[in-house]
Structure 1
Amino acid sequence: MSDSASTTFDGGAEFDWENYMAHRPDYTTSKFYDLVWAYHKRHSDSYVLAHDIGTGPGNVAEVLAKRFQRVIASDPSKFHIDTARQRINHPSVIYKHCRAEDLVNAIDTNDLGQADLVTVAECIPLMHAEQAMAVFAKLLRPGGTVAIWFYGRPIFAEKGQEKSQAIYERIVGKAFERILPLKGSPMERAFTTIASWLDVVPFPQENWTDVERIKWNNDMPLSFLDKKYFDFELEYESAVGPADKIDERKDRDFWAKDDCGIEWVKRFIDAQWPWRTTNDDIGAQMEPMYEQLETAMGGKGSKTKIAWPVVLLLATRR
């Protein structure tokens, strides 16, 4: 992350990681990781060292620790590192408090060029993509894998829920008024990266081969809010190489959660960003909108199916 972008997510006691994890898609028991393992197996049979970049509460590092001999979990936020350390009591996980772009200077020099896997979950938009990819190339051994993924705006997946989708997008548009202006800030680049479905992430051929860009449900936007709510012109940018393999899949069962009620939606939005407060005038304006959404979802106590737009980038170090 750039210094100014990372401060947005440095967190503190006011950020509730338990709420965040309870109101996000749970892909730990899905076949998602199997895609990563299968891709890696095609290029390497080594499972000695893995890096989890932007580890947050350590949920990905926890998965990696079951497969790799050692895991280095890094994050620019000390609060996040402390949270992950408290959550994961695993002797093979080492924690580093640093930005992704600085990681080569923070780890033992003997570990440079020795990693078998680098994972980057839900945080690549906050980084300087070209700098980050150069660092990941220095971390990996030849044949090592980088896996970068991001999920975005929830999809109200059931028939007849189009109105719910529209109301939800208005609610999020209102919530994000808390962080305006975006134009000219590091977050302008972050949201452009998301809106571009991470196509802006480069894989220079001198460092990478067998690049795959897998996109689920990309008939819907990846961005957390509709482009009309931004204070700058949101434009698609691309660094897709001519040899990159593009795989697009429409699958409303992917990562789907079938029992989402209005309280789940509220908590998802509350945990979507490190708001300093949700008990403000904007929050008050959102309350009648939530009532409209509950009605559209089917009324009091109703539950609906939520799916996700997801992108997974895979590449092998030459």
Structure 2
Amino acid sequence: MLDDIDESLAGHCASLSVITVNDGSAQPPPERLDRAFKTIDKVELLDLAINLGNQRAIAVGLAYASRMDATCIVVMDSDGDDKPSDIARLLGYFAQEPGAIHVVERGKRSDSLLFRIYYRLYKAAFYLSTGAKLAHGNFSLLPMRSAIGILHSANTWNNLAASIVRSKLPYRAHTMDRGRRYEGQSSVNFTFLLLHGLSSISVYLEVVTARLLVASALALAALIAMLFVVIGIRVFSDLAIPGWATVAAGILLIIITQVIMLAFNVLLNLLYNRSQSLTVPAMIDKLYVVAVRVLYASERG
């Protein structure tokens, strides 16, 4: 991948450093890179203390990169799904609009049918829960100022893509086809997508809570209306079967009580979360980095 990055960015940037994050890889990384690059000035490897998951590993790497003297940061996977040749396109968009974050939406995909079904379900669940659309992933270019702002949001610890949308910072989406993996098969499955979906929805916790409270209020109003209908049938007509109104009213009262308790618990959780101090990646990333190794440094840098 480094060779592809070096080749595709020749002439596109004056200085380029690559930061890789070792988040508990099964294959040990090399101690040094015995090759010379034309464009890349430096390659560093961050060894994390524990496996944080891909989103938090990204947040740690992004926080480390934000302390460097650079104009922008590109976030991408190293398995080939994010094409190095597309970095040059992102840099072109950045040159045209340097104040915006530039994210990548996927055009043509090479995933299996089952994965595409899972992914569509994830996007639909996200939209129904939050009212926002999330069509991009982690592959993105962030101006340094925007990266610093994103890193001071607790949301970035859970999901970078959703945090960009939630931040209200200006961003532009560009459609690019997914690349092919360098080797092996993707380990993404339904469980991974479920956890990924929950982490992105958690960025909109307050919105989801508000929607749940509104839904609970509507359900409560409907249940109370049904209760009055049952009482009305029992008192003002002879249509009710003996004992039916009592059973129906009892069931409705139980459901009403459960809805009120659910809404109350949701509200208490929201108030509790708002009273807690926020933990942001810019403050805690160093806690998880046990070693920083320089794999390559050019004579230029």
TM-score, L = length of structure 2: 0.28
More strand by share: 1
Relative contact order (C-alpha < 8 Å, sep 6+): which is higher? 2
**Larger-Rg structure:** 2
- Greater helix fraction, Structure 1 or Structure 2: 2
Question: What TM-score do the two structures reach when normalised by structure 1?
Answer: 0.27
